[in-house]
Chains A and B, each alone.
Chain A
């Protein structure tokens, strides 16, 4: 049962219950969880006062696992079972993963979808499960710090993440038992943190160089509305790659051949990363590496040398910057604030090159490691319903064009990149053969003309098309991208009105069935009684539905409902309230559905009135 805290008197005009919500930055290298407490967003530390949680999970033979600093400490000793940078594997296939082979030394085994599993001594784990283990750790930390169960979270993703990578993140949240209120783009989250901090309207660019991903987003802030104008990036470029360049140099200096074993590889990267961080403060640093032949190699790396090594990489980030500016229709000089996000932006060379590109001072005051989580916490607080008066709104975009495969292996773009979401587009198809009842669609993401150069997202099979003569059917396929940036497809045959059934086959994702299985098999849930879990879930849902309904009826039940309709709703609500205290979760579920069913007209009328009020409201107001 979620603990509902009553807010302090004076903080709101009417007593309302504060829902516990958190923002989670699920990073490649480090993760954080933050929440709004007493009006301020702050990251939550663990019992030892550490805010950052290394995104490292170590698996043991007895099926146990360890998350965070303790796991990271052992990474060099147990590289095959200590999973780092799992974010790089989310929504990716074996081929993608093989190009990362030199950086990530794991043993991969094929899974049911094209996303491979990682072989560990605890069994084969999907990257989604590994991420869920990290999220679980953060959940426990948050619930411990906040003193109650979380009602919802916002999880951030790189803006440049495609649909498969986003879906994998959402699935991880589900596996960790979290209600994901929104998938929020990391640069947007950072813009929120800074935007609210500085309180100035204008154009903001967010340069986000994380461990494994790079994003550049251009936003316009106007009276609390953050509107993304354009976004670009590279979902396989980050601070880890800087480490690799330094490591390669070290190998050269130490006379180590290309063919290094996993242990040495880990030690090299660890030393490279430490050197990189040290050189952000100092002009040079000593290096020490234990080689395989027992020799302890010592060397020295200067900041100048490191700058030379990483310059091509930083240069690579400027191309997406140019593209984003072009797509936004502005020049570098039009940008008023540049926000730096991600630990790697502490490197002086990065700041120098980015500062030069925009010809402006950079905003670095909010800790670049924490800024994303903080922005996410602010959004979570609002989405959970704690701030009904707040005017903040985030209007984000789809980062990559969506298209479908057409004849000859070509793509036809349906939704261009940088279109504001949510967005829907429709296409009409017809049948080739007489009596054809099914149709297949292949959806891809990317900017290229050929399907093979784009990212395969998902294959849809439409079934149940009423049989007709060839060419007579008018099948309207609607592609909808929601506020999380996730695609769903519906199809309807227009002449008959029949809705086609859609079978979804994600190219790099888990099916609902796989998730259910993982949920059932996951350790925590095996111990817990599934029945008790379902009961609790339905009770929480019942409470939410009843509370929302009562609030609405108090406000306008008289206006929108006839006495007959009102009676039906009251009766269904009464029934639900009774069953809620029982222990039959199926009965509660049915009662919820019944209540929602009789409330449909009420909901529709309210929503309709709401938008008309919004339309009319502005004509009356003076706008600034």
Chain B
């Protein structure tokens, strides 16, 4: 089983190892590469070609998935720079941040009691989204600008909090909508 790709995700897409990237460019390169290697091109080819094609397409999909997601991309860059984040969350967060998280969680827990739960949830979702985006900008500064990896790690961990919160918001949204409609 020969995997012919030894490049990291950025190298595979011929992109500089920076946090900020042009999404349209990434998408275009992704489509371009898959056009060449995807199993659809090898459906009538030999077993070996089909197997290699699948491996290559798989690796390209993996790289794309990491690079297009702001959180995954941040984690990956830190990993490349030797600051890999462990699976367990660090609890060494700023108390003010933890306070904010608790408030948001409480807010989420009380949505059903609101007069218009779906609207309240929508407002909460927007808050979470804008705070997540603010973190993205800060992370870009930390990684691309200041090369402040310690700060970057803190920011990524915060983004993880927010992503989990976003998932819970979406789950509640799904339940509420199904009950409502």
B31 adjacent to A225 (CB under 8 Å): yes
A618 adjacent to B14 (CB under 8 Å): yes
Residue in A closest to B47 when the chains form the complex, CB atoms: A596
Residue in A closest to B13 when the chains form the complex, CB atoms: A615
Task: Check A394 for interface membership: any CB of B closer than 8 A.
Answer: yes
B31 adjacent to A420 (CB under 8 Å): no
Provide the bound-state CA to CA distance between A618 and B12, in Å: 12
A611 adjacent to B43 (CB under 8 Å): no
Q: Which residues of chain B are within 8 angstroms of A618 by Cβ–Cβ distance?
A: 14, 28-29, 32-33
A480 adjacent to B58 (CB under 8 Å): yes
Proximity bits, B27-62, A CB within 8 Å = 1, else 0? 111011111111110011111110011111110011
| CB proximity of A318 to chain B, nearest CB, Å | 6
Task: Check B178 for interface membership: any CB of A closer than 8 A.
Answer: yes
Q: Which residues of chain B are within 8 angstroms of A145 by Cβ–Cβ distance?
A: none
Query: Given the known A-B contacts A322-B177, A422-B61, A617-B32, are A623 and B25 also in contact in the complex, defined by CB atoms under 8 Å?
Result: yes
At the interface, is chain B mostly helix, strand, loop or mixed? Answer: helix
Q: Which residues of chain B are within 8 angstroms of A315 by Cβ–Cβ distance?
A: 181
Task: Check B102 for interface membership: any CB of A closer than 8 A.
Answer: no
Provide the bound-state CA to CA distance between A483 and B36, in Å: 15
Q: Which residues of chain B are within 8 angstroms of A393 by Cβ–Cβ distance?
A: 31, 34-35, 38, 40
Provide the bound-state CA to CA distance between A394 and B52, in Å: 18
Provide the bound-state CA to CA distance between A315 and B177, in Å: 12
Segment of A8-16, A278-286, A600-608 engaged in the interface with chain B: A600-608
A422 adjacent to B58 (CB under 8 Å): yes
Query: Given the known A-B contacts A323-B174, A422-B54, A604-B52, are A619 and B25 also in contact in the complex, defined by CB atoms under 8 Å?
Result: no
Instruction: Tell me the residues in window 139-181 of chain B with beta carbons closer than 8 Å to chain A beta carbons.
Output: 170, 173-174, 177-178, 181
Task: Check A66 for interface membership: any CB of B closer than 8 A.
Answer: no
B4 adjacent to A604 (CB under 8 Å): yes
B46 adjacent to A619 (CB under 8 Å): no
Query: Given the known A-B contacts A384-B43, A393-B38, are A619 and B52 also in contact in the complex, defined by CB atoms under 8 Å?
Result: no
Q: Which residues of chain B are within 8 angstroms of A623 by Cβ–Cβ distance?
A: 25, 28-29, 32
Provide the bound-state CA to CA distance between A394 and B47, in Å: 21
A610 adjacent to B25 (CB under 8 Å): no
Task: Check A292 for interface membership: any CB of B closer than 8 A.
Answer: no
Query: Given the known A-B contacts A424-B62, A623-B28, are A326 and B34 also in contact in the complex, defined by CB atoms under 8 Å?
Result: no
Q: Which of B33, B39, B45, B49 contacts A483 (CB under 8 A)?
A: B39
A394 adjacent to B40 (CB under 8 Å): yes
| CB proximity of A541 to chain B, nearest CB, Å | 10
A596 adjacent to B46 (CB under 8 Å): yes
B52 adjacent to A382 (CB under 8 Å): no
Contact sample, A vs B, 8 pairs, CB 8 Å cutoff: A182-B40, A225-B35, A318-B181, A322-B177, A384-B44, A544-B44, A614-B33, A618-B28
Instruction: Tell me the residues in window 547-577 of chain A with beta carbons closer than 8 Å to chain B beta carbons.
Output: 548
> B interface, how many residues as a size bin?
35 or more
Proximity bits, A215-242, B CB within 8 Å = 1, else 0? 0000000110101000000000000000
Q: Which residues of chain A are within 8 angstroms of B173 by Cβ–Cβ distance?
A: 326
A326 adjacent to B170 (CB under 8 Å): yes
Provide the bound-state CA to CA distance between A241 and B2, in Å: 49
Task: Check A212 for interface membership: any CB of B closer than 8 A.
Answer: no
Task: Check B103 for interface membership: any CB of A closer than 8 A.
Answer: no
Q: Which of B33, B45, B47 contacts A611 (CB under 8 A)?
A: B33
* Chain A interfacial positions (CB closer than 8 Å to B): 19, 151-152, 181-182, 222-223, 225, 227, 315, 318-319, 322-323, 326, 379, 382-385, 391, 393-395, 419-424, 480, 482-483, 544-545, 548, 596, 600, 603-604, 607-608, 610-611, 613-619, 621, 623-624
Task: Check B79 for interface membership: any CB of A closer than 8 A.
Answer: no
A383 adjacent to B25 (CB under 8 Å): no
A607 adjacent to B44 (CB under 8 Å): no
Provide the bound-state CA to CA distance between A8 and B175, in Å: 58
Task: Check B98 for interface membership: any CB of A closer than 8 A.
Answer: no
Q: Which residues of chain B are within 8 angstroms of A422 by Cβ–Cβ distance?
A: 39, 54, 57-58, 61
Provide the bound-state CA to CA distance between A384 and B40, in Å: 9
Query: Given the known A-B contacts A420-B65, A623-B28, are A611 and B181 also in contact in the complex, defined by CB atoms under 8 Å?
Result: no
B49 adjacent to A603 (CB under 8 Å): yes
Query: Given the known A-B contacts A393-B31, A482-B39, A619-B14, are A423 and B58 also in contact in the complex, defined by CB atoms under 8 Å?
Result: yes
Provide the bound-state CA to CA distance between A619 and B28, in Å: 11
A616 adjacent to B4 (CB under 8 Å): no
B65 adjacent to A419 (CB under 8 Å): yes
B56 adjacent to A483 (CB under 8 Å): no
Provide the bound-state CA to CA distance between A323 and B177, in Å: 10
Provide the bound-state CA to CA distance between A544 and B4, in Å: 25
Provide the bound-state CA to CA distance between A596 and B14, in Å: 33
Provide the bound-state CA to CA distance between A615 and B56, in Å: 12
Residue in A closest to B14 when the chains form the complex, CB atoms: A619
A596 adjacent to B40 (CB under 8 Å): no
Q: Which residues of chain B are within 8 angstroms of A394 by Cβ–Cβ distance?
A: 40
Q: Which of B53, B56, B174 contacts A322 (CB under 8 A)?
A: B174
Instruction: Tell me the residues in window 47-99 of chain B with beta carbons closer than 8 Å to chain A beta carbons.
Output: 47-49, 52-58, 61-62, 64-65
| CB proximity of A587 to chain B, nearest CB, Å | 19
Provide the bound-state CA to CA distance between A326 and B125, in Å: 12
Query: Given the known A-B contacts A181-B43, A225-B31, A421-B61, are A611 and B54 also in contact in the complex, defined by CB atoms under 8 Å?
Result: no
Task: Check B134 for interface membership: any CB of A closer than 8 A.
Answer: no
Task: Check B5 for interface membership: any CB of A closer than 8 A.
Answer: yes
Query: Given the known A-B contacts A420-B65, A421-B61, are A152 and B43 also in contact in the complex, defined by CB atoms under 8 Å?
Result: yes
| CB proximity of A412 to chain B, nearest CB, Å | 13
A480 adjacent to B54 (CB under 8 Å): yes
| CB proximity of A18 to chain B, nearest CB, Å | 13
A607 adjacent to B43 (CB under 8 Å): no
Q: Which residues of chain B are within 8 angstroms of A608 by Cβ–Cβ distance?
A: 4
Q: Which of A19, A326, A604 contacts B2 (CB under 8 A)?
A: A604
Q: Which residues of chain A are within 8 angstroms of B37 by Cβ–Cβ distance?
A: 610-611, 614
Q: Which residues of chain B are within 8 angstroms of A607 by Cβ–Cβ distance?
A: 4, 49, 52-53, 56
Q: Which residues of chain B are within 8 angstroms of A483 by Cβ–Cβ distance?
A: 38-40, 54, 57
Q: Which residues of chain B are within 8 angstroms of A600 by Cβ–Cβ distance?
A: 48
Provide the bound-state CA to CA distance between A382 and B38, in Å: 13
Provide the bound-state CA to CA distance between A319 and B178, in Å: 6
Q: Which residues of chain B are within 8 angstroms of A383 by Cβ–Cβ distance?
A: 40, 43-44
A616 adjacent to B14 (CB under 8 Å): yes
| CB proximity of A17 to chain B, nearest CB, Å | 12
